[in-house]
């Protein structure tokens, strides 16, 4: 959809104008696989980018984060400690442009990659994979179908509530989560109905939630939503 609505061309044109050479890596599936990650990392090792620009929903941005790890450290494996990523930014920095208002992956330390052959979901969690820059433009999410807007919006609301009630929560993250709940509760219905002001509020609310839960993690709702969502083939936000 990023291509269909002209957003990819727009970014590539801006970069061309600035004299930046680019290479597109496309076709990341929902719930990205280890194979997609390895393939993308190989393209990166060949092209040697200084910047990785990830654009789209949670899946392509999560996939690009993992590609980044294997681009800079080809010797890494998914069986290594998922909470310790080797130091990045020796080769590239990372810019994320989200197209949905929900996962907040553009501001979090998380990425989820699926190994379909073993049925394992790898949750990567380390501040190394937090993007250097996030461009949150609500115009991108506005092109999403209402169903997807409601699913991703419920994901954002779940992040805010779970981050608020998790045992690691404290005053600073409470401030972010309470504000996020307030913004999302006031905007979720309107954003699904296509109200662009509500859509703008959702883009902000999910981001504020991400700033919170990236610091304290989530809880058992997400702990159950990932495996059950995969088992029943249920969209992540609905599974929450």
Binding site for Fe ion (CB under 5 A): 155
Min. distance of Cβ 94 from Fe ion in angstroms? Answer: 20
Min. distance of Cβ 86 from Fe ion in angstroms? Answer: 25
**Residue 163's closest CA among 201, 219, 227, 107?**
219
Residue 25 or 214 with smaller CB distance to Fe ion:
214
Tokens of 105: 């992956």
Residue 36 or 108 with smaller CB distance to Fe ion:
108
Residue 36 or 100 with smaller CB distance to Fe ion:
100
Min. distance of Cβ 201 from Fe ion in angstroms? Answer: 19
Residue 128 or 155 with smaller CB distance to Fe ion:
155
φ, ψ of residue 73 in degrees (nearest 5): -135, 80
Q: Give 55's contacts (C-beta < 8 A, 6+ positions apart).
A: 2, 7, 8, 11, 61, 96, 97, 99
Q: Tell me the C-alpha to C-alpha distance, in Å, between residue 215 and each of 35, 141, 154, 211, 218.
A: 29, 25, 20, 7, 9
Min. distance of Cβ 141 from Fe ion in angstroms? Answer: 16
| Closest residue to Fe ion using C-beta atoms | 155
């Amino acid at each position: 959809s990023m291509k269909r609505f002209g957003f990819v061309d727009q970014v590539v044109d801006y970069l061309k104008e600035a004299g930046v050479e680019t290479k597109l890596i496309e076709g990341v599936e929902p719930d990205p696989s280890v194979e997609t990650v390895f393939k993308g990392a190989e393209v990166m090792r060949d092209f040697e980018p200084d910047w990785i620009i990830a654009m789209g929903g949670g899946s392509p941005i999560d996939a690009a984060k993992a590609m980044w790890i294997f681009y800079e450290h080809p010797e890494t494996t998914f069986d290594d400690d998922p909470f310790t990523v080797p130091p990045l930014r020796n080769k590239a920095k990372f810019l994320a442009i989200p197209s949905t208002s929900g996962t907040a992956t553009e501001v979090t330390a998380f990425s989820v990659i699926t190994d379909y052959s073993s049925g394992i979901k790898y949750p990567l969690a380390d501040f190394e994979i937090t993007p250097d820059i996030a461009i949150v433009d609500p115009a991108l999410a506005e092109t999403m179908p209402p169903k997807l807007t409601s699913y991703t919006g419920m994901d954002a609301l779940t992040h805010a509530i779970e981050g608020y009630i998790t045992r690691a929560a404290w005053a600073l993250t409470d401030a972010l989560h309470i504000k996020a709940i307030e913004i999302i509760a006031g905007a979720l219905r309107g954003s699904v109905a296509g109200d662009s002001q509500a859509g703008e509020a959702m883009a902000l609310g999910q981001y504020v939630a991400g700033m919170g839960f990236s610091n304290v993690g989530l809880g058992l709702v997400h702990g159950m939503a990932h495996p059950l969502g995969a088992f029943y083939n249920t969209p992540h936000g609905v599974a929450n």
